[in-house]
A = this chain, B = another copy of it.
Amino acid sequence: MKKNSSVKSANVRIKDIAVKANVSAGTVDRVIHNRGRVAEDVKERVLKIIKDLNYEPNLLARVLGSKKKYYLAALFPDHQYDAFWLAPKAGIEKAEADLKQYGVQIEQFVFNPHDPDSYVKQATELTKRNPDGILLSPIYYKETLPFFEQWKDNNIPFVLFNTQIADYDPLSYIGQDSYQSGLLAAKIVHFGQQTPCSVLIAHIDEQISNAQHLVKKEQGFRNYFLQNNVEHQFNILRVELQRSSQSGFIRKLDEIVDNNPNLKHIYVTTSQAFEIAKYLEQRKITGIKLIGYDLIAPNLHYLNNDKISFLINQNPKGQGYWGIHHLCDHLIFKKEVPIIKYLPLDIVTKENLNYFLDE
């Protein structure tokens, strides 16, 4: 019974529906696509049969028959400024290759992540192209909103990744759960530390004010100790560092290290853990364990060195890949798309690094 219905459903064609409804294929087609020009009673009859027979259109034939091309646009920072962005780019390109057969073509718009004007300029350019769908990492909140509004008016679906902005309901958000990753980092620290000690949270190279995700990471990190009733064992410090000021960077660290002989762990909330590793190496400090983010080359160097214990990774390649796929699921395959998709928080260490490097 059950078996038959599911097996059969794969083979129901428009023609079958037409026969059963005593109309022509064209009429069924008009019903399916809501093109009008169908008598109300006939329409309902057809609709009922479609439902009864569990009709599922053959996507291959659909795509082949409609010669429609889909132009998608992707907006994200130039990897020249931050190697992190190589990964989403690769994911986007992989998705493009996967979906080429379906008439998908993607144009990339990259901008300087330190320059809002560059962002706006690229977003404007992108909008002019009037793509069928947009994938973007909206790192500038204020600057982004007008574009959201415009896209919404033009009915262009857009998917966000890496940075979330909930206004103007995007089709979907793909990315990191910053709070949770803070919790996770704390768990690792806790596991690695039985005796009381100091722990430093280091925010590097981003203005906290403009980076909500750093705040959330810190909250998650701190809350872990509270939730597990071990806050008395951990003296939590924090610091904001800028790489641009080399001397300030070192001075601040020196001060912290000198004043906290019991410092055992540093949690770097950005991808710049390698800067701390470099510092520790230069100062010949051992016994401080490092946890950071992102599998970029300088981090990997220190991970393989055992100077960095763990890197937390949230599949940046997958973010690009799934972002494009979500757009296509919506546009081409008319599938439901989850409003939010968090990719797994991977704990990466020297011993399992390999598996995360390619795919």
Chain A: residues with CB nearer than 8 A to chain B?
Answer: 10, 58-61, 63-64, 100-102, 180, 183-184, 187-188, 191-192, 194, 224, 289, 309-310, 342-347, 349-352, 354-356, 359
Query: Which B residues touch A100, using CB under 8 A?
Result: 10
Q: Say how many copies of this protein the assembly contains.
A: 2
Query: Which B residues touch A349, using CB under 8 A?
Result: 184, 187, 347
Query: Which B residues touch A101, using CB under 8 A?
Result: 58-60
Query: Which B residues touch A310, using CB under 8 A?
Result: 191
Query: Which B residues touch A346, using CB under 8 A?
Result: 344, 346-347, 352
Partner of A187, one of B63, B183, B187, B351: B351
Are the C-beta atoms of A352 and B60 separated by less than 8 Å? Answer: no
Would you list the 6 A-B pairs with minimal beta carbon distance, nearest first? Answer: A344-B355, A347-B347, A345-B352, A184-B351, A60-B60, A183-B351
Q: A84 to chain B: closest CB distance in Å?
A: 19
Query: Which B residues touch A359, using CB under 8 A?
Result: 344
**A100 vs B10: C-alpha distance in the bound complex, in angstroms?**
8
Given contacts A10-B100, A63-B60, contact A352 B343 (CB under 8 A): no
Instruction: Name, among A61, A101, A187, A352, the residue most crowded by chain B CB atoms within 10 Å (CB to CB).
Output: A352
Are the C-beta atoms of B351 and A355 separated by less than 8 Å? Answer: no
Give the nearest-CB partner of A264 in chain B. Answer: B194
Partner of A343, one of B60, B194, B224, B355: B355
Given contacts A60-B64, A63-B60, A101-B58, contact A187 B355 (CB under 8 A): no
Q: A273 to chain B: closest CB distance in Å?
A: 16
Beyond contacts A60-B102, A61-B64, A345-B352: 18 other A-B pairs, Cβ-Cβ < 8 A, are A10-B100, A58-B64, A58-B101, A59-B101, A60-B64, A60-B101, A180-B351, A180-B354, A184-B349, A187-B350, A191-B191, A194-B194, A342-B355, A343-B355, A344-B356, A344-B359, A345-B351, A346-B347
Query: Which B residues touch A187, using CB under 8 A?
Result: 349-351
Q: A351 to chain B: closest CB distance in Å?
A: 4
**A101 vs B102: C-alpha distance in the bound complex, in angstroms?**
14
Query: Which B residues touch A10, using CB under 8 A?
Result: 100
